[in-house]
Amino acid sequence: MAQSSEPTYYSLLGLHPSASVIDIRRAYRQLSKLYHPDTTDLPAAVAIAKFQQLNEAYATLSHPERRLSYDLKIGYSRFGVIQPPSDLNHPVSPSYDFSKSAYLDASDRPLSSGEIFALFMLVLTFVGCVLLAVAIGLTRGDTAFHTNLLQPTPSVQQLEFPIQNSELIIEK
């Protein structure tokens, strides 16, 4: 970090430069209660100056772009320096041979216990519905299992004959 005579915004808030946004907000609120000109026992000139510094620090550190430029200004980097591999043409680790995998799809995974339970419940529901349908069929008797396909269809003459008999009965 660059050394300067002026304290950094982080030191004003009592934080390390790697502090999170929540930590910055929490420190600002706590210190603003202490140094607010209306609530402090300090002389008004000192309280106002300290409160303005806190507001300036919080305004800079709470805004992501301003914080990044301020970090660069004071010489702090949140990002570690990554060294490139010595030979970029060769992979760092050997690639995985998916042909030796027990699964058909490389992105496939075993089922979790919750998924297995859900499948079990689906199968149990299906079997229950089939058993219920068979039980209803058995309790309704033989008529539930007979179909009209087994009985011969009546001809036109057979259909007309009972109608004629009923007309005869009505006329008498």
Of the candidate CATH numbers 3.40.710.10, 1.10.287.110, 1.10.260.40, 3.60.150.10, the domain formed by 9-74 belongs to 1.10.287.110
Domain ranges for the chain: 9-74, 113-172
Measured CA to CA, the distance from residue 50 to residue 37 in angstroms comes to: 9
Closest listed residue to residue 17, CA positions, set 98, 87, 72, 91: 72
Query: Taking the alpha carbons of 4, 9, 11, 17 in that order, is the dihedral positive or negative?
Result: negative
State the pLDDT confidence band at 27, using cuts at 50, 70 and 90: very high
Structural tokens at position 46 = 């000192």
Q: How far is CA 31 from the centre of its chain?
A: 37
Structure confidence by residue, pLDDT tens digits, 5-24: 678 899 989 988 888 889 99
Structure confidence by residue, pLDDT tens digits, 81-135: 555 556 666 665 666 565 655 555 555 677 889 999 999 999 999 999 999 999 9
- Cβ–Cβ < 8 Å for 100, 52: no
Give the chain's end-to-end CA distance (angstroms, integer).
122
Has this prediction a pTM greater than 0.75?
Answer: no
